[in-house]
Structures are given as C-alpha cells and as structure tokens.
Structure 1
C-alpha cells in the first residue's frame, strides 16, 4: 500500500501536467537510453510518451533527428512488455512521416501482424500501413485480406481503417479487397461493420451505378451496427439529392422507416437527413420535426442540444414547422446547459414576432456572459438577422451589440459583432448614425489591428455620407496619433475619403494629411503624400478613380501577374485592370449555425486552377490570366466518360480545359485529345493531350485558342469531340492488356463563348447614379428589345446571366432596373443600365451601354439581342 501513498508536498504540486515545459533537446538525449541492454520498459514508455507529446504539440523534428529517434525506437522490439510494444507502434507511426529508411522495420511489423499475440496485431497493422509505400503494398496484400476476415474484431477494424486511409493513395489496390470488405459488412461487431461499409462507399464514390448496387440490398434489411446504419442513411440521402425522379421513392421510404427505430442515434440521423434534403415532402418534414421536438424534452443534454441545434438550422427552410415547436423551445431557455439555452433563444428570435424580441433579448443578457465565444457568435448572428427582419428595432439591437462589443472576447467574436453593426449601417439608413457612433467608441480601445483597420475603412466609406461628417474625423485622426503603423495608414486613407467627398472639409483635411507626411512609418507618409497630391489637382474624375471608387484586385493573382510581367521583361506597361478583382459574393441563405474552427481559406477560381495551368507550355507568353469561368458540364452525369469545360480567359487568347473522368474500370484511355469545330475567325493555337486516362482518375486536355481581332466575332458556338485510343485492362489491377488498342471517339455537348465569359463585373457602390453621370461624355449605345419572358424579374435575371453581372445589380419592384459595370478583357471599362417592364406585348427592355471602346458597347448589346 505504501506505493499508493502521496506526500503532502506532492499533493500541493500535483495540479500541473507532467509534460509541461518539455525541452526537445533533452528528450532526444533521453531517447539514447533505448540502446541500453536490458531496457527498462517503464522508463522507455515514459520517454516515448514525451516524444509523442512533443510531436502532437506541433514540435518540429529535423529529418536527421527523426531518423535517429526512429532507429533508436526500433531497438525496443527486443522487449516483450505489451504496453511498451504498443507505444513503439504509435511512435513508429508518427515518426514514419519524418524519418528516412523507415521501410527497414517492415519485416518486424509483418511478423507481429501475422503472429499469435492479438494485442500486437492491430497496432502492427496500423503502423505497417503508415510506413509502407505503394510499391511495397503488393507484398502485404495477402496479409491485409486475411486481417479483414480475421476472427478478432480489433484486428479487422484496424485492417479496414488502414485500408480506408490507403484508398486515397492506392485506390486500385484497395478496390481488390472489396469481397472481403463486403463480407465484413454483415459482421456482428458494430465497428467492423461500420468500417467495412466506409471502405465500400469510398471505393465507389465516383461510380453511381455501383453505389446503387451496394446500397439497394442494404436498405431491405436492418444492419446490426448502428454506426453503419447512420452511414447508410447519409449515403441514401445523397442518392435522393442526386436523383429527383421516382426511382428515389424506395430510398425515401427507407429513411422514413428509420424514424421508428429504437436507437436515438438512428432517429436523429434519419430526421437530420430528411430535413436537409433539397426537396423534403411536407409530411416527412413534419415527422422529422416531431422527432426533434421529443429530443428537446429529453432528460439527456446531448439530445436537447441536437434537437435545438437542428431546429435552429431549419429556421430559413421550414419556419412554419419550427414555429410549431415554440413551447418546447421556450422551456429550454432556462436550461442549465447554456449552449442549449442559447440555441433555443436564437431560434425563437428567428421565428418569433416583433413583440417578443425585447423579452427574449432580456433573457439572453442574463446568461450571455456565461457561454463560450462560439455560442456568443450564434447570438450575434441571430441579432444580425433580427436587424434585417425588424428594422424598427435597430436602436435596442444596436445598443445590445455595443454592450457585447465592450465585453471580453477574442478576435473572431469581436469581428462577428463588428460585422453585424456594419451590416446594420449598410442596410438600414436610419441606423447609420447609431451604428457608426458605436463603432467609433469601440476603436478607442480596440486591441485587434485587423478589426480597427476594417472599421476605419467603413468610417471612410460611410462617414462622408452622414449628416454630420466632421464628428467622425476626430475619432479617425486619434488613430493617427495613438495607434500602430497599419492602423495609422488606414486612418490616413479614411481621412482622405472625407476630403474627396466633402469639399467644405477639404482645407482641414489637407492640414491633417500634411501632418501625416512627417510620420515615422513609410506607408503612412506615402499615403499622405499620395492623397494630398491627388486632392490638390481638384480633378473630380481623378479623385473618383484613385480615392473614392478604386478597383480592388485579387492580391494573390496581382502578385503572380507582377512576377510574370517582370520575368518576361515585357516592354509594354503593366495594366492592373487585367488582373482579376476580388469576387463578388452573392447573398446566401443564412441559418443559425455554430462557427466551425479553423475553416479553410476560400480560394478564387483563378487561384484554384493556377497550378494546373502552369503545366501548359508557353502560358507565360499569353500574359496575365484575366478570368476563369465556372465549369460547364459537356456530358450527362451517368455516362461512361464525364467531361466538363473550364474557360480560362486571357486578353487575346483563351485556354479551354476539358476535365475528363473515365468511369469504366475495364478500360484505359490513351492519347486523349479534343477535336474542336470553331466559329469563323477563331484559331486553335495548339492542343495539349492527356497521355493516359485511367479509371476514376481525373485528367485534363488543354486547348489554346486565339480570340478574333474583332470583339463582336468572339461570340459563337463550339462543337467538340473527344478522341482517344481504348485499351482493355484488368479491372482489379488496372494494368492494360497487351496490344495497341483501337481508336474511338465520343461526342460532347456544344458550348458557347459568350459575353459573360469575357467580362469581369465590378461592385457598384451606392453612388451608382453619380458614376453613370460622370461617364456622360463617354460613347453610349442604346437599343430596345422585346424579351421572351413574361415576368420582368425573370427577364432581368436572364439578362444579368448573359452579361455576366451579379443578381445584386437588379433593383426595383414593378419595373426592374439593372445597374452594372465592369471590365472587358483587355482592360476596357464599361457601364450598363437597363430598364425592364411589362407591356402589352410581353416584357420590354431599354438598355444602354457606355464604354470608351465602341466595339465593347456593341458587344454588350449583341449579347442580349
């Protein structure tokens, strides 16, 4: 018993982690102990724990350090201690990503994998699959198949999970284990069945027909594993969304039958799947909501959270069904779990009446300080929607948000509040003064540079349009005196906006900018001199183009275009208008949802495909990329060869990228290229074929074409045919049969090169009328058209689609008006104004286009003519 006694001093010091403040160098030195004989299992396990802790905390080991530790760890295979051996497997798996020559332990791991000690086998399989490369996997394939059908569930699960990881790198090899995995689906062990179904789903994810063949039999009898049944429900829901025909009726009935399952997990998964279908039948939706309603009254906090969270997400899609649960949600407001209470209140706010807002806001304020930042963000988003739904409540809602802004919180939380107030300022003219005042108070004590810069940008944009613009200048100029360099630079830009838009304030603004010309920071000085020089010209067009309405190019693509321009040593001046701007964001359906941490950065289309385009020879001679258009499907989804087209537009050229997928496992396509039937005046410069198109491995054919010299000739329809050589192959190995194969063709859908492909829309501000008037001296072309649509709204959307303008450019109710603008390839700017109204003969449109180039204006009208 003495070993369990603890000294008083130990109890006092026992609050910290034993791995706190570990030093990498000391731990690596301790690893030398592994070379001692005999080894102390307890001490070695402790050292391995330290190594694993450092790796999981993000500590970086050099290749040499990792290799040394790896080979020292392999010396521990001499020990028979079970716990130490399992720690060795874990360490080998982690170090294999960093060390060299790790393949040397393959024989030891294979021996443990096929041995009689079950405690070793599962961990050995996981370690072996993590260190074995694709060329060596053939040697262990027989052992993996045996492990998948082993009697021990732990061994079977380890083999299946390892196979699932391998399916991303060697899918053809894993596909050969399908028969063993199919047998494992019917296992009595819940995890084995779940992992086996996951393998089968992963290997067939790009083959709809084989996925249907897998799922259909499984829906006719109940799987023993609840986890596998949850996965099956998700797969069935995906099939229903992909197929709107009556063939999906049996699948809908299957999910409906799961609503009567005795397992709460299955009940929730079925309800969640039904409510997230693209088209949910009304009777099914009410049944699913009834399940969530029962969850809201459960004694288990997890079920209450699941019910409240899913109902919160339904507020925009099924508001009536959610409103029927108001009583149950009211009962959750006082829930001891504050996360549940938060979701309940925000859902009630989204579905309730204006009269209940003040009461619910009072209840939120009683516990908002007790919840985490992620749930505070949920509250902020709900309030943001309330500002749009009940604009008359802006005073109390803005005050509540301002109070939250003064509380403690991280950058993400404060940014969400600032976003809500900024949206309130932009969408509700009555709330502009109130919102700007709250933001001015916040930047006095703002700790986050990025947030302060953003608010200063808003003050510079909206402040000059307010009734008393001079009141904001003091707050902005205080930042020049008190803040860091980036904030001071943003403040200078904001101050310049007041001078550009308010002539009565210009003398004072010049004095402030002159003081900033003596700043210690280069960026601040340069901006002050730059803005002062522009304001001194008193040229309104110059001030508008370089201070008020400045285009914002995509920074990543701007850097790339500048590098290419310098590398080519071009004699022509660099034109910033040829660089894609930041993409306009269409308004999306907003739902109550918890923020996901560490969300991946959203990339533009140009950024996503820049690496693939770099493989095209001679691309550097085409100049900077102007625009990448969204993909166009050239085949039906169920065909044996799937092809979609991406049009990459340059100033005088275009690259047509045909993304191809071969869905036939018994064929390999070689020498794949596309034969084009081009409109007159188009010239095909060259074709970069795809050498080989294997089963389920996407590859691309690139065709470079020259645009016609006349802009009007660039509108036209292309015909396309896929040409290739077919070679039969073994569907299991993917190895082609001997022989030369035979030539074949496959017709593709025609595609159109339109006006929308060649222009890049620009966001037009609130001063669009002034922008249109400033362009009064520019060439204008106008015409009147009778449109085939019967509704002005639908006609306006069609016109925007033809012209490549976002739907946000449409304004008006009975009479629709389009107010848009942008840049044509080559850098020519344009403005478009159209009025669409109903008449006795249908829908009539009067459209006018202004551009410095007459052929650009003519092209815009020809696109809708």
Structure 2
C-alpha cells in the first residue's frame, strides 16, 4: 500500500487542471493514432477524453472537423477494451450533432445493442438513439421494445431514458412503446420503475382520462420505487390543481398518505405538494409538522429542504409557519450558513416588530460568510420588512446601506438598490434617508446600469424632497467624473429639477450650458434638448417632454422604426403608436433563490415573430396593444382554440391558436370563418395548411376598424372550418384520400374598449392633468351598476374600460385613470361610485381631444 501513498509536497506539485492548455488543432491531429494496429487503448482513451473535455468547455468544431473526428473515432470499434469502447460511445453522441453522415454507424451500434455484452448495450442504446432520426427509428423499434423489458436494469433504464428524449421528436412512435413501459413500471429496480413511469405519463400527458386512470391505479397498489413515487405525487398534484371539485379528494388523501412513507425524498415531495396546493392554514398542518421535523434533522440537506419550503410558505400562510418558530430559532446558529440564512429570513417574515432588531444583529454576524445568492435572499426579506413595519425604516435602511458598501456583484448590489428604491417610493418618511444612502453609493458605484437607474430615481423623487438642492451636487459630480452613459443620465436628472422647481431653474440652466460642451454626443444632445424646452417657459410643454414622459418599449421601437423606413420613409413617424415599456412586477413569493433573473418581455414582443406570417403586416406599423389569450372552446373538447387580439392604429389582427387533440385525425386547410359586424372590413386571412395531433397552429384574420370609434365596439361570430383526414393510430400517418369537410362552432369574439386603450399609471399630479384637460371635449353620464359592493364595482369598471385600478375613498369611491387611444389620442377618466337604493350608482366622465373617443367610454359601459 505504501506505493500508492503520496507525500504532501507531491500533491501540491501535481495540482491543477491537466487539460488547461489544450489546443484544438493538436488534438484533432492526434486522432490519426486511431488508425494504428493494434490499437493503443490507453493512448486512444486519453485522446477521446481530451475531445470530450473541449466539447464540454464550449469549443466549437466546424462540420468538416467534427466529421473527420467522428469517422476516426468509429475505427475504434475494432477494440475490445471496455473503457475505450464506452468512451467511443460518448464521443459519437457528442459529435453526432455536428458531423455529417453519422447514420453510417447505425449497424455497428445496433450490433452492440443486441449483443451479449451488457457493458456495451446500455451505452450503445444511448448513442444509437441520439444519432437516429425519426425515419430510421422504426428499423430499431423491435430492439427498443425488447430493451425496455430487459432483465438488466442498466439496459432497461437506458432504453427508457432514450425513449423520453425521443418523445420530443417522435411522440407517436414512442407512444407505441407504452405497453412495454407499463410492464417495466413493476420492475424491482427503483430507477427502471421511475423511468418507465415517466415514459407512460409522457405518452398520456394530453389525455386527461388516461392520466387519471394511471394515477388511480398506481396510487392503490404498493409502489416500490421512491423516485417513481415522487413523480406519481407530482402527477396527482397536477390533477388536483386542475380540478378543485370533490373528485380530486382521493388524490389529496394519497399525497397525505405519502407523508408517512419511509423514504425521506417521498415525504418531502408530499409535503412540498401539499404546501403548493392547500389554501388554509389548518389543511397545511400535516405538511408543516413534517417540515418542522426536517428542521431538526442531523442531515444538512433535510434541514435546508425544510427551512427553504417553510420560507416559501410565509408569503401566503405566515401563521402556519409561526408554529415552527422554536425550530427555526435553533437553526440560526447552524453550521450551514444557507440554512441559517433561510431560518433568519423566515423568522423576519413571521416574527413581531420587537424581534426585528435582534434578528438583524444575528444576520450581521454571518452575512459576510454567505454567497451572493443567499445575500439576495436576505435583502428581499428586509425589503418585505420595510413594507410590513414602516416604523423600522431607519434601522433597515442603515443595514441595507451597510450591505451596499460591502463587496458584491451586480445582481447583489441591484437587489439592495431595489430594496432602498422601494422603501423611498412606499414610505414618505424614509425618502430623505433613502436618497442620501443612494447618493453616497453612486459616489463609488462601478456598475454603469445601476448608477443610471439611481440617477433616474433622483431625478424623479429629488425635486419632491424637502431640500432638493442638496442632491444636485451629487448628480453634477457624475457629469464631471463618470462615463458617457452615466453623464447622459445625470443631465436628464438635472433637467427634471429645473422643470419641477422654478427656484432652481437659473442654476440648472448654467449646468446644462456647461454640458453642451461635453465630448459625448448623447450628453450634448440631451443638454441642448432640455435647455431649449426649459427656455420656452411653457408648463404644458415641460410637463409633457420632461416631467411626465411615456417610455416606449425599446425593442418594439427599434422594430417600428425599421418597418417605417422600409415601407413609409417619407411619412412622419408617430411615436405614440409604440407600446410603452411595462414595469416588471415582483413575484408573490416569500424567499426564493434565483441564480438568474428571467428576462421580462411584453406580450407585443412575444407575438411579433408570429405576426410576421401575415402578409404586409409591417405596413400597419407597430402593434398598439396585444390582449391576453381568450379561450373559445372548453378545455376538454376535441379542438382547443384561443384568440389573441392584436390592435393596431387602424387595423385589428385576430390570431387563433389552434390545437388538435385527436390522434386519429389530421386537419388540413384550417380557417376561422367570421361573422363581421357592421363597419368592419375583413381584408385578409391566413389559413393553417396542416394541423397534426398535439402540434399548435395559427390562423390569422386581418380586419380594418370602422371610421367611427363608437362603431368599433362589436362581437364577431366564429366557426372553425377545416378538412379532416383519418390517420393510422399506430403510425400517425394519414390514410389515402382527400378527406372530408367539417366545421366546429366557437365562442364569440368581443372587441370592447379595453382592447383599444393602453393604460397609463396614475401619478400624484393627476388632478393637475385633469384640470389642464378642461378645455378638451368631455362626455359624462350616470349609470346604475349590477354589483352590490362598491369595491367590486370599481374594479369591474376599471377592467372593462382598460384603465389601471386606482380607487380612493370609502363611502364614495373615486376612480381615476387614463391612457392612450389606439389612434394616439390621450384620454382621461374619472368615475364616482356610491351605494344607493341597495345598488351601486356611478357618475362617469371622460375627456379626450377626440369627442368620439370620450363618447366611446360611455357607450362601453352603457
């Protein structure tokens, strides 16, 4: 044994990555050793390891390089060395997506797949399924079915996992293997049983009745695999989530029964499912008790799972988690700092105001030892505390400012800045201290995006503070010391002080004049632009272009400008037709670790590529507003159709998202026949040429709005017309013949006021805006609403008119709102609601430069 020992110095000398300085060209040249006879097993294995390392590090091979390496690798099939052969299979899998003519090794892999050497068979199945296309799969279908029910667990599991991957490209073929997979569910091997259940459940995912039968059958029989039982719990939870009737009670009982299972992963999966399904604290008691036991476990993984799930639960049911306070207190000193962080943040969310200071001191003792992602968890918990306990804003803001001065990445610093910004916007008492902390931070901020955002906040909130002049120094320092983008943002912020505070205007003009000499074009242009507007002294002009400026969506603005230059370069571009940027809303969760923040995109961006299928769509300009999809069929019908309404300045595009749920039918020449109301003009329709089973397709109808705004309110009758061809249920291929014509009735499509108005958030200066619009045409009337509760009535009116829900008052509710009409005309709405005679009476007034638009809002309610 002494020959295997290495002293400490030898270990230190031999450290590091042996593949750190690999060269792609050199390695590809080394593949010529694969042609040697006899094969040098160790040398070839080392070369294949280098190739796999490069590919997994993101190295890109050209098609020719990949093809040469692929065919050089296939020459190693002559070797009988087990390690080398398995490396060959791995390389074939990795290179097959880049190389050409890879199908040529199918026969060799098929031979290994059906051979007697079990060490080769599993790897050969994985490699074969990764290189074989859907047309060649039928040739190996018989072997795959045999492999699924093979006695060797490794072979069976490899075949099942390969079937799961193939279900994305050839679902109809994999569906024919369901009988063999059903048989494999009863396997004694835990992984085989788990993978088999995945294949069977995947083949039935679009058939609710079949899924119900599967879950019901397996829930009643003893299931040996803990992994398969976890998947079964998830399937049962999906059925409960989609069906809130009493019929789902057996599945809830099954999940609760799994809380008493001997496997810890099954117990946790059941508790996690109950936490996500239950709506009352009493129903959560069994799951919370299990998670409480996890918090006292000797295993760090179980403590982390229990603490993290309880942390998530605090958002909706803090009282249910409060019972675990003692166990969470014990976790504060846990050696695993991730567990301690989750415990403290959960206690912060559920504890009393008196315990905040004590918990903050405990966080401060170890916050420097945890990673950035868990520091973000702490910051988000403190952000919620700011809303929950506004009187604690001073100590909380000071703690956040201390974290802001520590080392950390952009995401961590952005989370702290978000918390302070939220504190400034929500709590008037914290505005001065919060802005002071942010001003101090941008003095040393190394992140341009964060500095620009803080400057934008200072420009918006600074003029409203008690001493606005104190912030101008911090802002102007950025003009002197920072990069171009930060200097440009500082110019915009300074201009807002001049626009909002007349006493500061002379000083602001001097600063802007200095900025006109800047080296950066953007800084100079902004300074000249703002100086020209401020010099006019026109309050309406200043408010429209400096104080209350709508921010267009940058992605859609670029697209609209490109389309305008390509189609109508001689006409003036209307900026008001471009949708504004939507503010991302924070998810309603208590504590969530998110390594990456998902990109926020608007619905208009999401559907812009799909709308390209409509001929001439670029001539209509940018989409003014895209509505949420509306179901036109029931959820369990043969054909599922949803309608998405895309509103343009003068046109309407109705997009019908269609799904065929019948596996024995192929729909062709699919269209939606519309009954168009008076005034509308149907210009064009785009049919869906083919709608196979379970693959979505789109039908588009392009219409022109009526000249009068009031005539745009209407209802479209809709019928789905198509040609049906029967398909072989085993192969999925259509039978011979032209098929027959058929139709399917759809729900009516309604175009109201909400689809044609893009709302704007209500700001503090709404009263002044309403008074400035006194000279505009006004329409008003009194209505009796069907609701009995004034709050419900106010919310319903806002949703019906498409304006943001902003209601104030108790006895008399006043709704204030506004937006932009699809033609570019602004509109303001004020409604007063009160309870009278057992019902709700509303007086509605609307102002707009276009009188017909103001009348439209009244007609929409009436």
TM-score under structure 1 normalisation?
0.97
Note if 1:99 corresponds to 2:99.
Answer: yes
Q: How far did 1:841 drift? A: 4.3
**Contact 2:281-2:319 within 8 A present in 1 as well:** no
1:624-663, aligned counterparts within 5 Å? 624-663=622-661
Equivalent in the alignment of 1:713: 711
**Contact 1:779-1:851 within 8 A present in 2 as well:** yes
- Structure 1, 494-503 or 837-846: larger mean CA deviation: 837-846
**Contact 1:440-1:475 within 8 A present in 2 as well:** yes
- Structure 1, 762-771 or 791-800: larger mean CA deviation: 762-771
1:767-846, aligned counterparts within 5 Å? 767-807=765-805, 809-846=806-843
- Structure 1, 326-335 or 39-48: larger mean CA deviation: 39-48
Q: Secondary structure at the residue paired with 1:276?
A: helix
Counterparts of 1:84 and 1:526 in 2: how far apart (Å)? Answer: 66
Counterparts of 2:23 and 2:763 in 1: how far apart (Å)? Answer: 55
- Structure 1, 73-82 or 623-632: larger mean CA deviation: 73-82
Aligned-residue RMSD, C-alpha: 1.8
Q: How far did 1:283 drift? A: 4.2
Q: How far did 1:813 drift? A: 4.2
User: Structure 2 vs 1, CA of residues 814 and 404 (structure 1 numbering), >3 Å: closer, same or farther?
Assistant: farther
Q: How far did 1:674 drift? A: 1.4
Equivalent in the alignment of 1:615: 613
Equivalent in the alignment of 1:742: 740
**Contact 1:584-1:763 within 8 A present in 2 as well:** no
Equivalent in the alignment of 1:574: 573
- Structure 1, 138-147 or 155-164: larger mean CA deviation: 138-147
1:157-176, aligned counterparts within 5 Å? 157-176=157-176
Q: 1:538-596 CA distances to partner (integer Å, 9 max, x unpaired)?
A: 2211211111111111111111111111111353211111111122556652421212x
Q: How far did 1:282 drift? A: 4.9
Q: Secondary structure at the residue paired with 2:490?
A: helix
Q: How far did 1:12 drift? A: 2.9
**Contact 1:660-1:698 within 8 A present in 2 as well:** yes
Q: 1:634-676 CA distances to partner (integer Å, 9 max, x unpaired)?
A: 1111111111111111122111111111111122222221111
1:434-833, aligned counterparts within 5 Å? 434-585=433-584, 588-595=587-594, 597-807=595-805, 809-833=806-830
Q: How far did 1:801 drift? A: 0.9
Equivalent in the alignment of 1:108: 108
Equivalent in the alignment of 1:213: 213
Counterparts of 1:92 and 1:815 in 2: how far apart (Å)? Answer: 73
User: Structure 2 vs 1, CA of residues 705 and 106 (structure 1 numbering), >3 Å: closer, same or farther?
Assistant: same
Q: How far did 1:785 drift? A: 1.8
Counterparts of 1:8 and 1:837 in 2: how far apart (Å)? Answer: 84
Equivalent in the alignment of 1:254: 254
Counterparts of 2:483 and 2:420 in 1: how far apart (Å)? Answer: 24
User: Structure 2 vs 1, CA of residues 8 and 594 (structure 1 numbering), >3 Å: closer, same or farther?
Assistant: closer
Counterparts of 1:47 and 1:816 in 2: how far apart (Å)? Answer: 76
1:402-441, aligned counterparts within 5 Å? 402-441=401-440
**Contact 2:665-2:724 within 8 A present in 1 as well:** yes
Q: Secondary structure at the residue paired with 2:775?
A: coil
User: Structure 2 vs 1, CA of residues 2 and 95 (structure 1 numbering), >3 Å: closer, same or farther?
Assistant: farther
1:7-406, aligned counterparts within 5 Å? 10-277=10-277, 279-280=278-279, 282-406=281-405
Equivalent in the alignment of 2:855: 858
Q: How far did 1:184 drift? A: 1.1
**Contact 2:563-2:619 within 8 A present in 1 as well:** no
Counterparts of 2:397 and 2:558 in 1: how far apart (Å)? Answer: 40
Q: 1:495-519 CA distances to partner (integer Å, 9 max, x unpaired)?
A: 1111111111111111111111121
- Extract unaligned runs of 5+ from structure 2: none
- Structure 1, 613-622 or 637-646: larger mean CA deviation: 613-622
Q: Secondary structure at the residue paired with 1:775?
A: helix
- Extract unaligned runs of 5+ from structure 1: none
**Contact 1:256-1:284 within 8 A present in 2 as well:** no
**Contact 1:274-1:280 within 8 A present in 2 as well:** no
- Structure 1, 416-425 or 259-268: larger mean CA deviation: 259-268
Q: How far did 1:691 drift? A: 1.8
**Contact 1:295-1:304 within 8 A present in 2 as well:** yes
Counterparts of 1:303 and 1:853 in 2: how far apart (Å)? Answer: 64
Q: How far did 1:407 drift? A: 0.8
Q: How far did 1:450 drift? A: 0.9
- Structure 1, 597-606 or 391-400: larger mean CA deviation: 597-606
User: Structure 2 vs 1, CA of residues 765 and 98 (structure 1 numbering), >3 Å: closer, same or farther?
Assistant: farther
Counterparts of 2:804 and 2:50 in 1: how far apart (Å)? Answer: 55
Q: 1:419-474 CA distances to partner (integer Å, 9 max, x unpaired)?
A: 00000000000000000000011111111111111111111111111111111111
Q: How far did 1:85 drift? A: 1.3
Q: Secondary structure at the residue paired with 2:743?
A: strand
User: Structure 2 vs 1, CA of residues 847 and 128 (structure 1 numbering), >3 Å: closer, same or farther?
Assistant: same
- Structure 1, 167-176 or 1-10: larger mean CA deviation: 1-10
Counterparts of 1:35 and 1:433 in 2: how far apart (Å)? Answer: 76
Q: 1:711-758 CA distances to partner (integer Å, 9 max, x unpaired)?
A: 101111221111222222111211122233222221111221111111
User: Structure 2 vs 1, CA of residues 6 and 38 (structure 1 numbering), >3 Å: closer, same or farther?
Assistant: farther
Q: 1:269-311 CA distances to partner (integer Å, 9 max, x unpaired)?
A: 111101101x446543111111111111111111111111111
Q: 1:388-440 CA distances to partner (integer Å, 9 max, x unpaired)?
A: 00000000000000001111111111110000000000000000000000001
Counterparts of 1:444 and 1:720 in 2: how far apart (Å)? Answer: 61
Q: Secondary structure at the residue paired with 1:673?
A: strand
User: Structure 2 vs 1, CA of residues 77 and 811 (structure 1 numbering), >3 Å: closer, same or farther?
Assistant: farther
Counterparts of 2:559 and 2:10 in 1: how far apart (Å)? Answer: 59
Counterparts of 2:48 and 2:630 in 1: how far apart (Å)? Answer: 53
Q: How far did 1:179 drift? A: 0.9
Counterparts of 1:739 and 1:858 in 2: how far apart (Å)? Answer: 55
Q: How far did 1:6 drift? A: 5.1
**Contact 1:178-1:200 within 8 A present in 2 as well:** yes
Q: Secondary structure at the residue paired with 2:283?
A: helix
Equivalent in the alignment of 2:846: 849
Q: How far did 1:352 drift? A: 0.8
Counterparts of 1:94 and 1:811 in 2: how far apart (Å)? Answer: 62
Q: 1:344-369 CA distances to partner (integer Å, 9 max, x unpaired)?
A: 11111111111111111111111111
**Contact 1:375-1:594 within 8 A present in 2 as well:** yes
**Contact 2:281-2:317 within 8 A present in 1 as well:** no
- Structure 1, 513-522 or 708-717: larger mean CA deviation: 513-522
User: Structure 2 vs 1, CA of residues 550 and 36 (structure 1 numbering), >3 Å: closer, same or farther?
Assistant: farther
TM-score under structure 2 normalisation?
0.97
Counterparts of 1:599 and 1:454 in 2: how far apart (Å)? Answer: 17
**Contact 2:584-2:600 within 8 A present in 1 as well:** no
Q: How far did 1:4 drift? A: 3.7
